[in-house]
Amino acid sequence: MRMSESLPEQGAGVGTDMAAVRAAGLNGHRPPYEDAENKFNSAVLRCNTEPGVDALFSDDVLAAALLLKRQSPGHFFALTDEIENPRVRREFDDRIREIERERKLGLRGADLDLDERPVPFLLLSQIATAWSPSRDIVKGLVGRGEIITEVGESGVKKTFIAAKLAFCVAAGIEFHGRPVDQTGVLMVTGEGIRGANKRLAALRKLLDSDEEIPLAISQAPAPILGGEDRLVELIGSAEAAMGSEVGLVIFDTFSTNFGNGDEDNNRDMARAMRAIREVIGDQRTALLVHHPGHGAKDRERGAYSLIGNADRRYRVISLTPECSQMECLKSKDDERPDPLVFDFEKVGTGLLDADGMEEMTLVAVPSSTAPQKVSDEPVGKVQRAVLFALEHRGPMTRSDLVGLLKDQGHAGKSAAYAAISNLMEQGKVKEAWTKLYVEKNPPEGSPVEPSVPGDEPI
């Protein structure tokens, strides 16, 4: 997508008559902020043409403005810039901030409904009419409107791969041989900011072009929980500066940008996932660069709802000190792509150190090394405990198995559910009649009653 192009109207497929679609009652399949944008735009025009009329301060206009700010900050800030009266602009900005503070504190602003539209639905016969083709950001790897995790231990160079992905998407060049649909990229950096700047500078130097690339990198964290408004403003400011809509937001790392919450708490993690969904909508994608768990190195650290809410999951492992492999652990709606293997070349950044010498860094490049099959052996003590329990105790329900692991001190609920999910994705644990089992100990024709957890070790 060229930088000058705007995103297509959601629901407007090839050859679709949008007037007919809306007349059929499918207006819920427009961009979620379109009604809010129209209402806010009308209020701004009235404010500019009818001085003295407080068109911007009714509850419905304020609700529309707040919805637009959350769903499409670039459109929100563009319209607020159209307010001609400086006094009205200041009062409007103050009122928006006041409502946002009140909502956080649970005061009177909290009951301002941001979206009063009815929940849209489609009849089966209408799906084809309303269908809008969606082009992947990176073909087969990164779709639109997705939450994607990239997990790996320290030292596997997952951040270098994320930087290369960001650069290729922003520049519109292939990523590891896969076509890219160019869009603006925002990297929200929470740690190692100096190193992140060096990596992007090196990639820019390699491109050897003076053309402006729609890529921005934050110089401080942007909390997801407790700082959603700052994140929305950051995206809007980046879009205004780049002149391009942000289609990919990379949080590097997820932990350092998590915000005011506990990533091991399922409720906090679910809140974070909802906040990210609200920010990205159905056209942006969020990539969460994350660390693995302490007891299970093949999964993301933290509460299980992160794994459950992710649309795609990638794991990065080291094949050699100079070579890493990125493999797909989950792809909700598509086939899992083949693993990608990267080498890392030392290159100059064009930046000088205190002695006037050029700073150097590593850049991820496609490797000629063949992908390697990762060992089928369970990774981490929790997965081993799950398999041991099912092999020796027989089939049991998830809740019984999780309770057994918890009672015997092998894992908490989140780690146990995550280990079970990973083993099921790998095909090592199966489910029938609500019971989990392993191939060597399947249920025989009907559900087998689980053993009663005792005091003995599994």
The answer to whether 233 and 93 have CB atoms below 8 angstroms apart is: no
417 and 452 belong to one structural domain: yes
Please list, in sequence order, all residues whose beta carbon lies within 8 angstroms of the beta carbon of residue 304, skipping any fewer than 6 positions away.
266, 269, 414, 415, 417, 418, 421
**The Cα angle at residue 81 between residues 90 and 274, in degrees rounded to 5:** 90
For residues 59 and 63, what is the distance between their CA atoms, to the nearest angstrom?
6
Is residue 423 exposed (0-12), middle (13-18) or buried (19+ Cβ within 10 Å)? Answer: buried
27 in a structural domain: no
Which domain-ending residue is among 325, 345, 366?
366
CATH of the domain at 349: 3.40.50.300
406 and 279 belong to one structural domain: no
Number of domains in the chain: 3
99 in a structural domain: yes
Tell me what pLDDT residue 108 has.
43
182 in a structural domain: yes
Q: State the CB neighbour count (10 A cutoff) for residue 158.
A: 25
89 and 224 belong to one structural domain: no
Q: Could you tell me the two tokens for 111?
A: 């009951």
Q: Could you tell me the two tokens for 414?
A: 């989140």
Residue 243 gets the label, from left (phi > 0), alpha (psi -120 to 50) or beta, of left
186 and 330 belong to one structural domain: yes
20 in a structural domain: no
Pairing of strands 285-290, 312-320: unpaired
Is the pTM higher than 0.75?
no
Could you give the residue ranges of the DSSP H alpha helices within 357-427? 381-393, 398-407, 413-425
136 in a structural domain: no
The answer to whether 272 and 261 have CB atoms below 8 angstroms apart is: yes
One-letter-per-residue 3-state SS of 189-210 = ECCCHHHHHHHHHHHHHHHCCC
158 and 224 belong to one structural domain: yes
Tell me what pLDDT residue 422 has.
78
Q: Is the peptide bond preceding residue 253 cis, with omega within 30 degrees of 0?
A: yes
CATH of the domain at 458: 1.10.10.10
224 in a structural domain: yes
Pairing of strands 312-320, 147-151: parallel
Domain that holds residue 391: 376-458
For residues 191 and 206, what is the distance between their CA atoms, to the nearest angstrom?
24
Could you give the residue ranges of the DSSP H alpha helices within 287-352? 305-309
265 and 348 belong to one structural domain: yes
Which domain-ending residue is among 67, 92, 111?
111
Tell me what pLDDT residue 414 has.
78
222 and 361 belong to one structural domain: yes
404 and 344 belong to one structural domain: no
List, in sequence order, every beta strand (DSSP E) within 143-217: 147-151, 184-189, 215-217
140 in a structural domain: no
Which domain-ending residue is among 366, 388, 421?
366
Phi and psi torsions of 412, nearest 5°: -75, 175
244 and 388 belong to one structural domain: no
304 and 260 belong to one structural domain: yes
Q: Could you tell me the two tokens for 71?
A: 């769903």
For residues 292 and 299, what is the distance between their CA atoms, to the nearest angstrom?
5
435 and 414 belong to one structural domain: yes
120 in a structural domain: no
298 and 410 belong to one structural domain: no
Question: How many CA atoms lie within 13 Å of 316's alpha carbon, on the beta-carbon side?
Answer: 25
Provide the residue-wise pLDDT of the chain in tens; the chain has 458 residues. Answer: 333 333 333 333 333 343 443 333 333 344 556 788 888 888 898 888 887 667 888 888 888 888 888 777 878 888 888 888 888 888 888 888 888 777 666 554 444 455 455 678 889 999 999 888 889 999 999 999 999 999 999 999 999 999 999 999 999 999 999 999 999 999 999 889 999 999 999 999 988 777 889 999 999 999 998 877 888 889 999 999 999 999 999 999 999 999 988 998 888 898 899 889 988 888 899 999 999 876 566 678 888 789 888 999 999 999 999 999 999 999 988 899 999 999 999 999 999 999 999 999 999 999 999 998 765 555 678 888 999 899 888 899 998 999 999 888 888 887 888 888 878 877 788 888 788 998 766 655 544 444 434 444 45
For residues 265 and 245, what is the distance between their CA atoms, to the nearest angstrom?
33
